[in-house]
């Protein structure tokens, strides 16, 4: 007997060039390319995994870091179960914009419980020698959030901590939806969310 798979939608946000696409490709395809190509709008890949004994399909949305694509946010953010905020440890400005990305996501995605929405912060490119953002600075930022945000230092190129970061994202998302009752068990038919208070956990 096959168990039902749980679909989790993860959004990767951060300034252009921080390695969002590289992280996604390293996790899903185990590949890395030195050729940089800016994401236009958004793209997504899926990865199946077993997380805490549950079959999960992680749908990972890679979004453009350029401001001119910001208006596309609503369509891509809605229905997200978790969000990864990525910065480049060699470029301080990409770290300083994390608050902006976090706030923009919460506005656009409009989750049912914004105070407890599962974020994960990733400091990427730790394989480079020209580090400019210390681990302590990033950790302090994450600990200052309520609740505290998990922090990972990664290298998409060297595949350091990439899988661990994505699995943590999936675990945190699962913990949020685990207590939401399945309406199909109690309802005779499928009900569409009309925007009322009954739409928790929906799009």
State how many domains the chain has: 1
The pLDDT value given to residue 48: 86
The pLDDT value given to residue 201: 46
The pLDDT value given to residue 186: 42
Q: Which two three-digit tokens encode residue 91?
A: 């470029």
Please say if the pLDDT value at position 150 is more than 70.
yes
What's the CA gap between 201 and 180, in Å, rounded? 7
Beta carbons of 170 and 52 less than 8 angstroms apart? no
Poorest-confidence range of 5-14, 60-69, 143-152?
60-69
Within a domain: 196: no
- CA triple 20-22-24, angle to 5 deg: 70
Within a domain: 171: yes
The pLDDT value given to residue 183: 44
Domain of residue 148, CATH code: 3.40.50.300
Within a domain: 78: yes
Q: Which helix (H) or strand (E) holds 104?
A: helix 98-109
**Residues comprising the chain, all counted:** 203
Q: How confident is the model at residue 171 (pLDDT cuts 50, 70, 90)?
A: very high
Q: Which helix (H) or strand (E) holds 93?
A: helix 92-96
The pLDDT value given to residue 38: 55
pLDDT in tens, 27-52: 998 887 766 555 544 567 888 888 88
C-alpha closest to that of 111 among 191, 58, 172, 186: 172
Within a domain: 117: yes
**Which of the 8 DSSP states describes residue 3?**
P
Within a domain: 1: no
The pLDDT value given to residue 51: 86
What's the CA gap between 127 and 116, in Å, rounded? 32
Within a domain: 18: yes
Most distant CA atoms of the chain, gap in Å: 60
Q: How confident is the model at residue 200 (pLDDT cuts 50, 70, 90)?
A: very low
Within a domain: 198: no
* Residue ranges making up the domain that contains 172: 6-185
Poorest-confidence range of 5-14, 46-55, 171-180?
171-180
pLDDT in tens, 117-131: 999 999 999 999 999
């Amino acid at each position: 007997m096959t168990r039902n798979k749980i679909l989790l939608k993860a959004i990767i946000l951060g300034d252009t060039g921080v390695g969002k696409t590289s992280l996604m490709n390293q996790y899903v395809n185990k590949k890395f390319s030195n050729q940089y190509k800016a994401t236009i709008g958004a793209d997504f890949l899926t990865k199946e995994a077993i997380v805490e004994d549950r079959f999960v399909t992680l749908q990972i949305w890679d979004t453009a870091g350029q401001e001119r694509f910001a208006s596309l946010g609503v369509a891509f953010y809605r229905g997200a179960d978790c969000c990864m905020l990525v910065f480049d440890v060699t470029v301080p400005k990409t770290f300083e914009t994390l608050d902006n990305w976090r706030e923009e996501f919460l506005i656009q995605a409009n989750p049912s419980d914004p105070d407890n929405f599962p974020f994960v912060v990733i400091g990427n490119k730790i394989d480079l020698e020209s580090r400019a953002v210390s681990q302590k600075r990033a950790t302090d930022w994450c600990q200052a959030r309520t609740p505290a945000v998990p922090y990972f230092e990664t290298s998409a190129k060297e595949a350091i901590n990439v899988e661990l970061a994505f699995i943590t994202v999936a675990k945190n998302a699962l913990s949020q939806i685990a207590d939401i009752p399945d309406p199909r068990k109690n309802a005779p038919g499928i009900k569409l969310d009309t925007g009322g208070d009954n739409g928790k956990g929906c799009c």
